[in-house]
Amino acid sequence: MSVADHSPLVVLIGPMGVGKSTVGRLLAERLAVEFCDVDEVVVAREGREISDIFVDEGEPYFRGVERELTLELLAAHRGVLALGGGAPMQEVISAALEGRAVVFLDVGIADAAHRIGFDTSRPLLAVNPRATWVRMMNERRPVYERVARWRVDTAGRTPEDVVDEIVGLLSSDAEEGMR
């Protein structure tokens, strides 16, 4: 059995504020499959918000739960799966992404800023959100680029437009596969 037989149709990765959930939900609708956001599963499993998990237990605990659930969902979910922004930085997760249809949703700080600036749900951006976002993106970009099959720029585009591009990429990939 190849990876494609038992994996999500599409995995979305990228930084906080890029719109993984919005694009993921729309994309799933378009493809008539289920959407799943790992962050939401973490919140449901833990019975508390991500910011509370960070405060109560610390980041290493959060990363442990994130790792366990991400690997579980990579094995079990067959629709569109959106990962948390930091997930691909865990080596075991980036290894598990190999060979899958991974889309890196890219964006610059100018476009991300209005979504992250006043959002208290993201504990890593609680202090100095813009500078922190830029620093994290610089650190993470090489990993996002390495594990993704495609990079899709979302700057100045509507979610519908981004979804159109992803659908096009998926169908050209399917055509390649049939040749």
Question: Residue 137, interface with ligand S3P (CB under 6 A)?
Answer: no
By CB under 6 A, residue 143 contacts ligand S3P: no
Could you tell me the smallest distance in angstroms from the CB atom of residue 13 to ligand S3P? 9
Contact flag: residue 20 with ligand S3P (CB under 6 A): yes
Which part of the chain contacts ligand S3P (CB under 6 A), choosing from 99-107, 119-127, 156-164, 169-177? 119-127
C-beta neighbour count of 163 within 10 angstroms: 22
Nearer to ligand S3P, 30 or 115 (CB): 115
Question: 5-22 b/e with 16+ CB inside 10 Å = b?
Answer: eebbbbbbbbbbbbbbeb
* Smallest separation (angstroms) from ligand S3P to the CB of 23: 11
Name the residue nearer to ligand S3P (CB basis): 2 or 138: 138
Which range in 79-87, 143-151, 152-160, 168-176 contacts ligand S3P by CB under 6 A? 79-87
Least Cβ distance, residue 82 to ligand S3P (angstroms): 7
* Complete edge-to-edge strand list for the sheet that includes strand 10-13: 35-37, 80-82, 10-13, 102-106, 150-153
- For residue 104, report the phi and psi dihedrals to the nearest 5 degrees: -90, 110
- Identify the three-state secondary structure at position 102: strand
Is residue 33 within 8 Å of residue 80, measured between CB atoms? yes
